[in-house]
Amino acid sequence: MLFGPRALPFGGDQLSHLLGASTDKALLPLLWNAMFFPRTMPETVARHFPFDLAARPAQITAEGEDAGWLWPGLTRSMLAYPTLRVPVRILAGSPDLVVSTALNAQRAARMIPDARLDLLPGAGHMLHHFHGDAIVRAALSLRPG
């Protein structure tokens, strides 16, 4: 919703430039921090992530293009979930502000045969920054005996 309109063939670039010069300066830091909620952004990310590059109008337009192609791809994937015959582990943060755990992780776990869902309380969207051990355990649990 935030970036999709910026990928429109007519006016999308202009919208990116307009918003890049106005609201993005306030909105993007809120979004970047929300990705780590309920935790705070790790100091290494705050210090080394190229926020200036990520906030360029052309980059935001590219994010909009990615968002536009995301839904058809996710729909195709979701339609195939019931046919999966491989071990699946899904890890999700319970207070994820970026994507809905109920709409995505919990639904996928119900649709994929024998999928296992691990909700990580207090993990949020960027759980890999704080729960690397849980990710490694989940990956190792998928190894053949």
**What pLDDT tens digit does each residue of the chain (145 aa) get?**
667 677 777 777 777 777 766 677 778 888 889 999 999 999 999 999 998 888 888 887 888 888 888 889 999 999 999 999 999 999 999 889 888 998 899 999 999 999 999 999 889 999 999 999 999 999 999 988 6
Give phi and psi for 144, each to the nearest 5.
Answer: -65, 140
Are residue 10 and residue 64 in the same domain, yes or no?
A: yes
Same domain, residue pair 72 and 1: yes
Whether residue 10 is found in the same domain as residue 76: yes
Q: Is 54 in the same domain as 93?
A: no
Residues 16 and 50 in one domain: yes
pTM score: 0.79
Residues in a beta bridge with 116? 89
Total of domains in the chain: 2
Pair (46, 111) in one structural domain: no
- pLDDT given for residue 70 in this prediction: 84
58, 144 contact by CB (below 8 A): no
Q: What was the pLDDT predicted at 4?
A: 66
User: Taking a C-beta distance cutoff of 8 angstroms, is the pair 94, 120 a contact?
Assistant: yes
Paired with 117 in beta bridges are 90
Please check whether residues 90 and 141 belong to one and the same domain: yes
pLDDT of residue 21: 64
Q: What is the pLDDT of residue 138?
A: 96
Same domain, 62 and 21: yes
The domain containing residue 26 runs over which residues? Answer: 1-83
What pLDDT sits at residue 25? Answer: 75
The answer to whether residues 18 and 56 belong to one domain is: yes
Query: In angstroms, how far is CA 23 from the centroid of its own chain?
Result: 22
Closest by CA to 42, choosing from 132, 145, 112, 144, is 132
